[in-house]
Amino acid sequence: MFLTDTLQTYLTVIVSVAGGLVLLLLLALVVWAYRDIRARSRSAAAAVLTVLVVAFLPLIGLVIYLLLRPRETLAEAYDRALEQEALLQQIEERPVCPTCSRPTQANWFLCPACHTHLRQPCPVCHSPLELHWDICPYCGNLMETEEVVESATPEAAPGEAAGI
């Protein structure tokens, strides 16, 4: 009689401890799932649904949650967005000096680092013009290049001036 009572007491204690550990594990899974969904979504409804599914369907609910949860956390999505923004800023065309590759501004005529001519002033409105432009986009002045000026007024050959 004494042996069966002692054995029954030990079994009761073991079952109680095991049940407590299982409940503690279930509670830990529910807390983990809640913290994980809060890190992955701003939706309160998703958090409540996750907690209910994991709490009432312990193993199956956890598997369902792991299959359906968002792939990345909000912090990872934010980091990815920052990285994409940084890449887009690098891709954007920023003017640089063709000689020293230092950043310049669109209204500079000379590079302050190496003194390379970046632009020329329009003779009429003095706006900065790219060196290869032949017309001013600000005032419409048509630029005369040296070749055009030279070909428009050809110098006479020595024999032609004498009338030979």
In tens, the pLDDT along 35-78 reads 999 999 999 999 999 999 999 998 899 999 999 999 999 999 99
The pTM of this model reads: 0.53
Spans of all domains in the chain? 2-75, 83-153
User: Using 50, 70 and 90 to split pLDDT, how confident is the model at 155?
Assistant: low
Q: In the 3-class helix/strand/coil scheme, how is the chain assigned residue by residue?
A: CHHHHHHHHHHHHHHHHHHHHHHHHHHHHHHHHHHHHHHHCCCHHHHHHHHHHHHHCHHHHHHHHHHHCCCCCHHHHHHHHHHHHHHHHHHCCCCECCCCCCECCCCCCECCCCCCECEEECCCCCCEEECCCCECCCCCCECCCHHHHHHHCCCCCHHHHCCC
Return the higher-pLDDT residue of 122 and 2: 122
103 bridge partner residues: 96
Q: So what's the pLDDT on residue 151?
A: 46
Compute the average pLDDT of residues 7-11: 92
Length reported for the chain: 164
User: Is beta strand 119-121 parallel, antiparallel or unpaired with respect to 128-130?
Assistant: antiparallel
